[in-house]
Amino acid sequence: MSTANLVSVVIVVRDSPEVDETLARLATQVIGGGHECLIVDSSAGRLDEIAARHQWVRWLAFDPPIDGSFSIAAQRNVGIAAASHSTIAFIDSGCIPVDGWLEALTAPIRAGRADMTCGPIRSARVGVYTIVNDALDGSAVSLAPTGNLAFARAVIERIGGFDERFAYGSD
């Protein structure tokens, strides 16, 4: 497989042990496809046991500024900068990717048919939302949360990455 067809999966995390299950479900899709996974972690080592179980993941420590003025967008930008491949996918820690998730999300980008794709998010428990983006393939959506999103690197470079002035949930 050409490296042009490879994907960098970026996950940001802070004290979220749920990332262990996310990684367990993602391993076959990433390793089997020759892709890479990066965790940008602001947990100050508190998830080291989980990192040790997933040696296939490139774990990046994120040290927020002393004044605490950082956002998830800043973590995402660190992941983008460290990513090796031209397609970058995002999934949130605690999200559970179904079989074939990475291929389905990124195939249109890797084939040159799209610059950005997103997929549905279905909550397993009561929360802010139950289902987001349960739309027909190829249709436009009004909301594209980073819990299930992919970009061609060129798009991210063109827009300058995520706006770090936005707070949690606003990237």
Beta strands in the chain (DSSP E): 7-13, 36-41, 58-61, 87-91, 116-118, 121-122, 131-132, 148-152
CB 4 within 8 A of CB 23: no
**pLDDT, position 135:** 52
Mark 108-132 as b/e (b = at least 16 C-beta within 10 Å): bbbeeebeebbbebeeeeeeeeeeb
Amino acid at 114: A
From CA 22, how far away is CA 167, in angstroms rounded? Answer: 24
171 residues of the chain, pLDDT tens digit each: 457 799 999 999 999 999 999 999 999 999 999 999 999 999 999 999 999 999 999 999 998 777 766 678 889 999 999 999 999 999 988 888 889 999 999 999 999 999 999 877 655 555 555 555 555 555 555 555 566 899 999 999 999 998 887 765 555
CA atoms lying within 13 Å on the CB side of residue 156 = 23
SS3 98: coil
Provide the pLDDT for residue 162: 86
Instruction: Give the separation between CA 129 and CA 151, rounded to whole angstroms.
Output: 23
Residue owning tokens 């820690």:
93
| Predicted model pTM | 0.86
* Cβ atoms within 10 Å of 19's Cβ, excluding its own: 27
Q: What is the pLDDT of residue 132?
A: 52
